[in-house]
Amino acid sequence: MDKPIVYVTRTLPEEQLSPLKEAADIEMWEKEDEPCPRDVLLEKAKTADGLLTMLSDRIDEELLKEALHLKVVANLAVGYDNIDVEAANKHRVICCNTPDVLTESTADLTFALLMAAARRIIEASDWIKQGRWTGWGPYFLAGADIHHKTIGIVGMGSIGRAVARRAKGFSMNVLYHNRRQNSEAEEELGAVWVSFDELLEQSDFVVCLTPLTKETKHMFNRSAFKKMKHTAFFINVSRGQVVDEGDLYDALVEKEIAGAGLDVFAEEPISKKHPLANLPQVTALPHIGSASKETREAMMRLCAENIALVLGEKQPKTEI
Ligand code: GLV
Ligand code: GLV
């Protein structure tokens, strides 16, 4: 019997896909550092039994209705707003993501971005690289303190808890907002649940880790930014569309908030002409939350294992 076909939408190292080697014939999008075009993905999906996808690939009704052999989609990300899970359920396609393996790395990046924004690290480094450092000054590149301040985490899942643990090491006061209270975060870390408005009003650093859903889209809008302190920073490591970017821009320019650290944008990639990228009080990163070599490889292996399990008619490790 022919082996099942798995299509991988990015060039990944074969050794990271070894769990799939026996189970399937693997085909990959061959151009390194270029995403698989939509028409290629649609065509490949028609014959594939499994897909290993990136967060930039849209898995929707248009794709699923023609994917008659498809049994499993494994997304190389914890977020899965690129997948219409309801449509996949209807077509009996199992969807998997990569939680847990990326928690600590994403928390590291979140805290690094918070620190970079507060202490103006990238701006300071550029000062030297652009040959502009002429001497010491009392307010030269003076930023904001982090230690003993209040961090407010919106979306207290496992990444939120890992960020809260880091915040505790900096003697920060930890608030959080979540639909459900997180007793682990409260007992282990002394995090305090507050309403969304209270979090905005009291936090020095508002950190967004909530998944993008219909309910969270544009939850950070002008009215939210107006409730924040003028000295506060907004840090986003979830999805760009959780924020109304025009409203964030206005809040920054009108100094309603002090600055922002952004790892994600509504439409990615952004160009250097993007209005937010041109504000000195914005630290902008190109969606690198989980981007350590070790973690990305763990994510690849988890995707491969999940696909192999489903193709072997077993329960995947991390089904959505
Ligand atoms: C990255 O953004 C992810 O969801 O893993
Ligand atoms: C964090 O937001 C998570 O779901 O782990």
pLDDT of residue 81: 96
Site residues for ligand 2, CB cut-off 6 Å: 99, 155, 157-160, 209
| CATH fold match for the domains 5-100+293-311 and 103-284 | yes
Give start and end residues of each alpha helix (H) in the chain.
Answer: 38-45, 61-64, 85-90, 103-119, 121-129, 158-169, 183-189, 196-202, 222-227, 245-253, 293-311
Which are the contacts of 128, defined by CB distance < 8 A and separation ≥ 6? none
15 CA to centre of ligand 2 in angstroms: 28
Is residue 300 scored above 90 in pLDDT?
A: yes
Tell me what percent of the residues of the chain surpass a pLDDT of 90: 96
CATH topology of domain 103-284: Rossmann fold (3.40.50)
pLDDT of residue 236: 98
Tell me what percent of the residues of the chain surpass a pLDDT of 70: 100
66 CA to centre of ligand 2 in angstroms: 32
Dump the DSSP string for 256-267.
SSSEEEES--SS
Strands 150-154 and 173-177: parallel
Active site residues: 239, 268, 287
Q: Measured between alpha carbons, how far is 294 from 312 in angstroms, rounded to an integer? A: 27
Q: By C-alpha distance, which of 238, 259, 293 is closest to 116?
A: 259
162 CA to centre of ligand 2 in angstroms: 9
Assess whether the C-beta atom of 211 lies below 6 angstroms from ligand 1.
no
- Per residue in 116-146, pLDDT tens? 999 999 999 999 999 999 999 999 999 999 9
Ligand showing the shortest atom-to-Cα distance for residue 209? 2
Q: By C-alpha distance, which of 93, 66, 42, 106 is closest to 316?
A: 93
Helix (H) or strand (E) holding 72: strand 72-75
Atom of ligand 2 nearest to the CA of 210: 2
pLDDT of residue 99: 97
Ligand showing the shortest atom-to-Cα distance for residue 98? 1
Residue 125: Cβ within 10 Å count: 11
Which are the contacts of 209, defined by CB distance < 8 A and separation ≥ 6? 110, 153, 154, 155, 156, 157, 159, 160, 163, 237, 238
Which pLDDT band, with edges at 50, 70 and 90, does 234 fall under? very high
pTM of the full structure: 0.94
CATH of the structural domain 5-100+293-311, one choice from 3.40.50.300, 3.40.640.10, 3.40.50.720, 3.30.1360.120: 3.40.50.720
Comparing 102-111, 123-132, 178-187, 226-235, which segment has the lowest mean pLDDT? 178-187
Q: Measured between alpha carbons, how far is 163 from 156 in angstroms, rounded to an integer? A: 9
Nearest CA to ligand 1 atom 3: 77
Which pLDDT band, with edges at 50, 70 and 90, does 32 fall under? confident
Q: Measured between alpha carbons, how far is 88 from 85 in angstroms, rounded to an integer? A: 5
Is residue 1 scored above 80 in pLDDT?
A: no
Ligand showing the shortest atom-to-Cα distance for residue 99? 2
Residue ranges per structural domain of the chain: 5-100+293-311, 103-284
Dump the DSSP string for 83-151.
B-HHHHHHTT-EEE---STTHHHHHHHHHHHHHHHHHTHHHHHHHHHTT------TTTT-----TT-EE
Average pLDDT, the chain: 97
